[in-house]
Chain A
Amino acid sequence: MSRTITLKDHTSETQLLTGRVIAALVFVALLLGVVISRLVFLQVISHEHYTTRSNDNRVKLIPTPPTRGLIYDRNGALLAENLPAYQLEITPEQVVEMDGLLEKLQQLVTISQEDLGRFRSHLENKRIFESVPLRFRLSDEEVARLAAVRHRLPGVNIVARLSRHYPRGKEFSHVIGYVGRIDKRDRRRLDETNYAGTLHTGKIGIEKFYEGALHGQVGHRQVETNAQGRVLRTLQETQPKPGKNLHLTLDAELQRAAMEALGEFSGAIVALDPRDGAVLALVSKPGYEPNAFVNGISFEQYRALQRHPEQPLYNRALLGQYPPGSTLKPFLGLAGLEYGVTDPQREQFCPGFYRLPNEERKFRDWKRRGHGHMNLDEAITQSCDVYFYDLARRLTIDRIHAFLSRFGFGRQTGIDMTAENRGLLPSRAWKRKARGMVWFPGETLNTGIGQGYTLATPIQLAVATATLASRGERIRPHLVERVQSPTSRQEAAPTEEALPPVDTVSEANWQRIIEAMSHVVSSPRGTGWRLRDAPYTIAGKTGTAQVFGIAQEEEYEEEDVARELRDHALFIAFAPVEEPTIALAVVVENGGSGGSVAAPIARQVMDQYLLEEAQ
């Protein structure tokens, strides 16, 4: 590489460098000035603020957890509250020797293996200046024993904290859910800073779905503490923002009545207001005791719940998938009218069974001897299977699928809860995809009476019933009426986008089906005749869902069949008929007959709502 050798002018270069050095020195002096003034500011001007009264004291930064929002029913009854309780906590950085301390504590207070295990795993996740709870809900005696020797045990604190409590226990367990202690999985998804002082988070139900609003925002304080960690004075503090209160659409008295109405049976009841989708009652029986979960349910207790044959932890209202049975008939009837495959006058002869053309197989009606000549109204009122086998055949499965989808079958309802099942609305495409097989005509017939592959959750049934009640207006069920900030009194109602109404059905056809459903209750031959003496008008439909099939010629004798194999009893209804304010679905597991078991239960619920509670 060739270079041009230039003669350097050393003097001017030296001058240049020296000039630059001076410039650099000026810059250095400036920055130094800034540093010194900052030091003076911190160490002289603000010294008072940072100094402590004694040389043994120190200044600590501690988080102040926000109070969790309360949950009320629509009339202001308290469903979830925070009760004060004492708990035993340990601040690791003040502890001289942890194992020794734990031993000493065990001599004073009962500490279970589970408590210890949870404590140790908590230790790993918290910073050393944060206190970790060891035991909750100390009794007064335990508090006294600890307080007497506390000065000999550095790092031990007895802290008064608020503990979540559910006054209504089992009745609301499936709706409200519960809070539990934060575990590793929660830690991964929660914001570490906002939850710095919080020990619990919503695990299931409304407590989880609305966790963000219920929790609030953490505050913090700068405090001076003595060597044992006792707070002497507060230097600075930022108040936490308390969690917002939830006002639910639920009616606590209705919920209680519904739970009672189910009696010994397991099952679900969902009651809605068809005008706006407000959920009035959401019951799944059996329920469980949510208060046991708040501070960590014991392993044995949890196992017992999991293994219980009636599955108390399973939310039947949102997750239970049942064959809707005859409750589907009003919707199918509507489809038949709309597609023109039947009309109000057409009669179908019902001999007690039905055969497809050119086939041997008999599809049986529940009434062995048959219903005789039936028109649509009578077929619904008396729940004739044969009429609907025939109707289904004329409609074909794909039209059934298209029409029923519009009522929400086969899809989640979008209720503000953490989990719900979608049920099953079969179609040719579905069967090909799910089973890899072709659709058989017999399966259409089964769908016609709400059996076969068809499955619906109680909430879906309730929502579909509400759509019928409002003559096509669709609603999204919701549990929260409004969210209210306890400090600012600011309110917010959750907003939803409107669903497209079922608007292709003519006014007349709605009327015909609704009348038929009224006849279910008012007509002497109606399957729901037991309810005829209600002081308000009811439109409903009974249903009996088969749990297992029987051979063509056999009799189904209820007394002979074991309870677990008995049919489920269903009933859907709305009232009063002209201007409905309540729409509900009742599913009674292994209840046997829709008319004799499910309908009276529904009546009790409606009585409570329409009669006991003056509107």
Chain B
Amino acid sequence: MAWHGVLDTATAGQARTMWHRLFHRLHLDVPLLLALAGVGIAGLFVLYSASGEDINQVARQAARLGASFVAMLVVAQVAPQTMRRWTVAIFVVGISFLLAVLIVGETGKGAQRWLDLGLVRFQPSELMKIAVPMMIAWQLADRTLPPRAGQLLISAVLIGVPVLLVARQPDLGTALLIASAGFFALFLAGLRWRILGGALVSLLVMAYPVWRYLLHDYQRDRVLTFLNAERDPLGAGYHIIQSKIAVGSGGLYGKGWLNGTQSQLDFLPERHTDFIFAVYSEEFGLMGALLLLGLFVFIIVRGLIIAVQAQDTYSRLLAGSLSLTFFVYVFVNVGMVIGLVPVVGLPLPLISYGGTSMMTLMAGFGILMSIHTHRKLLSP
């Protein structure tokens, strides 16, 4: 296809400058790197404001960012072929850790999510965010696409088991991301539209019994309050209303950095990580929000280009699924803050305060970079 060739030419032209050769040796993809760095730095500024000018928090976050970039660099060195060989092992290890958490895990904040490995506390559900799409890609890579019924069934199990294990912890947000990752891999592999439609219909049909019998009370409450925050303005709807006020008061250009009045004191500690986009919107307005969203979109599109340009099915499926999952991350968090999506508890990638998910995220980008820079054919 015509436009496909255009992209290749662009890449070929870039390979020639010295800087680009250096970056290529390090297996770093420049556009992606710059965009990620941009988001990270913006995040540090916002965090400074949201934390009430607490330089220590910002320093900690910067350290985490640094460590995550290093992780990305390390992962980028690993060739996709190596990743492919290790896929099954990683997946099995991940599942075992998940089971271990359910049986032995530490309970933090009323959910069993952590494993204390002595030096480090480790969330196996994070690992599954990468292991699942890898596994699906691995499973589909050898056969012809689109996948047939038998493969679909296997894929469903490979996705379903970790999703259920994680959802039981209970960690709905991460379970949703794992399910998305797996789903996107299947979708990009050519899951038939008919099957997709059928699955959607059966999901809608299942919605009612799930609503009544499977959801906890507080989860049901969240959905109802999301649909109408005014219903419980002093209880569950409080954060949504406060968030909308903060976002709305930002206007076109925002109140300016450090000048947000709504966001400083009204948020309770757990929430100031997830609702940070509200702080950003209040201080930088619609223009700022569009700019940030633009950066995120650039990252996603770059990832999809990498997927298209990849040279084997495994890499394509993996790259595509990771990029689209990143979009889900952004959409769910931003949507939650502006009242489009029920409160699920997903942090804003690279900006929200917190470490474990940042590491896995950047590892994912490392994979993307690895896929892109390990390609054999570069000439048009």
Residues on A facing B (Cβ under 8 Å): 3, 6, 8-9, 13, 15-18, 20-21, 24-25, 28, 31-32, 34-36, 38-40, 42-44, 46-47, 49-52, 55-61, 63, 93, 127-129, 192-193, 196, 218, 220, 222, 238
Given known contacts A18-B1, A24-B304, is B261 in contact with A55 (CB within 8 Å)? yes
Q: Is the CB of A32 within 8 A of B338?
A: no
Contact of A57 among B232, B261, B304 (CB under 8 A): B261
Q: Is the CB of A17 within 8 A of B146?
A: no
A220 and B249 CA atoms in complex are apart in Å by 20
A58 and B189 CA atoms in complex are apart in Å by 51
A43 and B338 CA atoms in complex are apart in Å by 10
A218 and B304 CA atoms in complex are apart in Å by 51
Given known contacts A34-B340, A39-B281, A42-B244, is B307 in contact with A21 (CB within 8 Å)? yes
Residues of A close to B281: CB separation below 8 A: 39, 43
A25 and B290 CA atoms in complex are apart in Å by 18
Contact of B335 among A35, A51, A196 (CB under 8 A): A35
A222 and B251 CA atoms in complex are apart in Å by 19
Q: With CB as the reference atom, state the residue of chain A lying closest to B145.
A: A13
Contact of B233 among A3, A6, A36, A220 (CB under 8 A): A220
Classify chain B's interface size. Answer: 35 or more
Residues of A close to B1: CB separation below 8 A: 15, 18
Q: Is the CB of B188 within 8 A of A47?
A: no
Contact of A43 among B188, B248, B331 (CB under 8 A): B248
Rounded to whole Å, the gap between the CB of A576 and the closest CB of chain B is: 57
Rounded to whole Å, the gap between the CB of B47 and the closest CB of chain A is: 21
Q: List 16 A-B contacts (CB under 8 A).
A: A8-B144, A17-B188, A21-B304, A24-B188, A28-B327, A35-B340, A40-B286, A42-B244, A47-B249, A51-B249, A55-B255, A59-B262, A63-B234, A93-B265, A220-B234, A222-B245
Q: With CB as the reference atom, state the residue of chain B lying closest to A6.
A: B144
Q: With CB as the reference atom, state the residue of chain B lying closest to A218.
A: B234
Say whether B285 faces chain A, with CB atoms less than 8 Å apart: yes
Given known contacts A38-B338, A42-B244, A56-B261, is B249 in contact with A16 (CB within 8 Å)? no
Contact of B187 among A20, A40, A47 (CB under 8 A): A20
A3 and B234 CA atoms in complex are apart in Å by 61
Given known contacts A35-B334, A49-B248, A52-B261, is B286 in contact with A25 (CB within 8 Å)? no
Given known contacts A43-B248, A57-B261, is B234 in contact with A193 (CB within 8 Å)? yes
Residues on B facing A (Cβ under 8 Å): 1, 4, 142-146, 184, 187-190, 230, 232-235, 238, 241-242, 244-245, 247-252, 255, 259, 261-262, 265-266, 268, 281, 285-286, 289-290, 293, 297, 300-301, 304, 307-308, 313, 316-317, 320, 324, 327, 331, 334-335, 338-340
Given known contacts A24-B184, A25-B301, A35-B334, is B233 in contact with A43 (CB within 8 Å)? no
Q: With CB as the reference atom, state the residue of chain A lying closest to B305.
A: A21
Rounded to whole Å, the gap between the CB of A222 and the closest CB of chain B is: 8
Rounded to whole Å, the gap between the CB of A554 and the closest CB of chain B is: 68
Q: Is the CB of B251 within 8 A of A47?
A: yes
Residues of A close to B233: CB separation below 8 A: 61, 220, 238
Q: Is the CB of B320 within 8 A of A21?
A: yes
Residues of B close to A20: CB separation below 8 A: 187-190, 320
Given known contacts A24-B320, A51-B251, is B234 in contact with A58 (CB within 8 Å)? no
